[in-house]
């Protein structure tokens, strides 16, 4: 098969992080838009991208983009695509869709037209009338924006933020890919001390440990395209073998996680063990008000409780006061705080934040305050 076009999707605000990851993996010449990066690749790159990307949501195959102002155009252009390259006679075909500011406003009708066109192309290619759809699933998305349709195939399945290690999640868990992005956006490296004084389920620290040890985030989970005959299984085996061979030894990281809830700490330890980094992080039950720092330099990355998590505003502000009390006179410590509470800078009085990034934890708008 010739070069294919892939689209990596990511949460709004994390496009630059995903782009940096892609460049490190050897890709170039991107077409960027909100939440998307498009580029040329080989079929063998699909396993590598799914296994290695930390900040992304999904890896999609771009099949075609065209003008679709009416149903005839949608059907004809869809039928003209080489669906047989990806879909075999047993594949279960699922079509999802969305339409924004377009003539073809009925998503259900668009999905039906696209599926009929796909089946028609397969009938002609395979010389077969009926398809049982009892095999592996292939999810096709038809997205129409201002009468321009884009057809993609999802290679990921369950979103990339699902690493598979997390059992205890906390009240409002931070998504794993967002947690990894927070680390990648900071200046942390494996030689620096890292603390999360309100670690919850431990996700930020676990993602940091995986980065520090070069553990691929998708190494121990499955992807929907692993079941496809269109992608040779040897590509998956080679990608996983390569990822295993590049893991750094354990024992060299200085990562510490604290939380007032003993059950949360036990959950952190389970999550860390599932991720293979239980020997790289020290978790301990401790109230943030009792936190004592005995070294001049280090870094905090934390997702403290905020209004969505806590019932009383006074509880939130007492936590901010505790952070301020410990770190306002410690310029050697870089502080990175993500919160939905826009009042946080009023309580951390060391200085104004060097940078504030608007991000999203799922559907929740948050700000990432960076004090270097």
Higher pLDDT, 313 or 80: 80
pLDDT score recorded for residue 21: 98
pLDDT band at 314, cuts 50/70/90?
A: low
Q: Are residues 191 and 105 part of one domain? A: no
Q: Are residues 209 and 106 part of one domain? A: no
133 inside domain: yes
For residue 274, give every residue at least 6 positions away whose Cβ sits within 8 Å of its Cβ, in sequence order, or none: 164, 165, 166, 167
Q: Are residues 301 and 241 part of one domain? A: yes
For 299, the enclosing helix (H) or strand (E) is strand 298-302
Judged by DSSP in three states, 315 sits in helix
313 pLDDT more than 80: no
Exposed/middle/buried for 340, CB within 10 Å: 0-12, 13-18, 19+? middle
Phi, then psi, of 59 in degrees rounded to 5: -120, 115
Domain count, the chain: 2
CATH number for the domain spanning 346: value is 3.40.50.150
- How far CA 121 is from CA of 47, 124, 212, 294, in Å, comes to 27, 5, 47, 68
Q: Are residues 137 and 183 part of one domain? A: no
345 closest CA partner among 332, 328, 329: 328
Q: Are residues 53 and 192 part of one domain? A: no
Q: Are residues 206 and 96 part of one domain? A: no
176 closest CA partner among 299, 271, 273: 271
Q: Give the separation between CA 114 and CA 110, rounded to whole angstroms.
A: 6
pLDDT score recorded for residue 108: 98
222 inside domain: no
Q: Are residues 204 and 108 part of one domain? A: no
- Each residue's pLDDT tens digit, 12-24: 999 999 999 999 9
pLDDT band at 290, cuts 50/70/90?
A: confident
Q: Are residues 112 and 21 part of one domain? A: yes
Q: Are residues 69 and 131 part of one domain? A: yes
pLDDT score recorded for residue 65: 98
The whole-chain average pLDDT of the chain stands at 93
CATH number for the domain spanning 70: value is 3.30.2130.30
Mean pLDDT value of segment 73-84? 98
Q: What is the largest CA-CA distance in the chain?
A: 75
Mean pLDDT value of segment 319-344? 87
Tokens for 111, please give them.
């999905």
296 inside domain: yes
Question: Taking CA 246 as the corner, what is the angle to CA 216 and CA 235, rounded to the nearest 5 degrees?
Answer: 70
Mean pLDDT value of segment 208-225? 98
CB atoms within 10 A of CB 9: 19
Q: Are residues 192 and 328 part of one domain? A: yes
Mean pLDDT value of segment 196-210? 96
259 inside domain: yes
Higher pLDDT, 353 or 240: 240
171 inside domain: no
164 inside domain: no
166 inside domain: no
Q: Are residues 212 and 77 part of one domain? A: no
pLDDT band at 169, cuts 50/70/90?
A: low
Q: Give the separation between CA 290 and CA 293, rounded to whole angstroms.
A: 10
Q: What is the DSSP string of 246-284?
A: TPPPSS---EEEEES-HHHHHHHHHHHHHHT-TTTEEEE
208 inside domain: yes
Domain that holds residue 52: 4-154
For residue 51, give every residue at least 6 positions away whose Cβ sits within 8 Å of its Cβ, in sequence order, or none: 216, 217, 218, 219, 239, 240, 243
- The dihedral sign for the CA sequence 169, 173, 176, 181: negative
Q: Are residues 274 and 130 part of one domain? A: no
């Amino acid at each position: 098969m010739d070069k294919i076009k892939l689209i990596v999707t990511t949460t709004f605000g994390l496009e630059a992080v995903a782009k940096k990851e892609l460049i490190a993996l050897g890709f170039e010449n991107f077409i960027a838009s909100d939440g998307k990066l498009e580029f040329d690749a080989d079929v063998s790159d699909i396993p590598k991208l799914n296994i290695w990307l930390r900040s992304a949501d999904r890896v999609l195959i771009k099949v075609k983009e065209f003008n679709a102002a009416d149903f005839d155009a949608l059907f004809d252009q869809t039928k003209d695509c080489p669906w047989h390259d990806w879909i075999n006679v047993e594949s279960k075909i699922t079509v999802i869709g969305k339409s924004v500011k377009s003539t073809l406003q009925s998503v259900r009708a668009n999905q039906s037209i696209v599926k009929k066109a796909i089946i028609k192309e397969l009938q002609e290619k395979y010389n077969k009338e009926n398809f049982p759809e009892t095999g592996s699933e292939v999810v096709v998305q038809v997205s129409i924006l201002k009468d321009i349709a884009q057809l993609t195939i999802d290679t990921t399945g369950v979103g990339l933020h699902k690493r598979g290690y997390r059992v205890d999640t906390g009240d409002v868990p931070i998504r794993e890919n967002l947690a990894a992005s927070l680390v990648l956006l900071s200046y942390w490296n494996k030689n620096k001390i890292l603390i999360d004084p309100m670690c919850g389920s431990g996700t930020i620290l676990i993602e940091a440990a995986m980065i520090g040890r070069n553990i691929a985030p998708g190494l121990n989970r499955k992807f929907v395209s692993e079941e496809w005959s269109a992608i040779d299984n040897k590509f998956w085996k080679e990608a996983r073998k390569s990822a295993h061979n590049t893991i750094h030894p354990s024992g060299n990281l200085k990562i510490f996680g604290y939380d007032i809830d003993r059950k949360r700490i036990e959950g952190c330890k389970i999550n860390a063990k599932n991720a293979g980094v239980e020997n790289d992080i020290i978790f301990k039950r401790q109230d943030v008000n009792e936190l004592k720092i005995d070294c001049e330099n280090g870094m905090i990355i934390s997702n403290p409780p905020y209004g969505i998590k806590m019932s009383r505003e006074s509880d939130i502000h007492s936590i901010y006061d505790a952070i301020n009390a410990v770190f306002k006179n410690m310029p050697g410590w870089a502080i990175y705080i993500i919160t939905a509470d826009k009042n946080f800078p009023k309580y951390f009085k060391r200085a104004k934040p060097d940078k504030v990034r608007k991000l999203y934890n799922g559907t929740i708008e948050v700000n990432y305050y960076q004090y270097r």
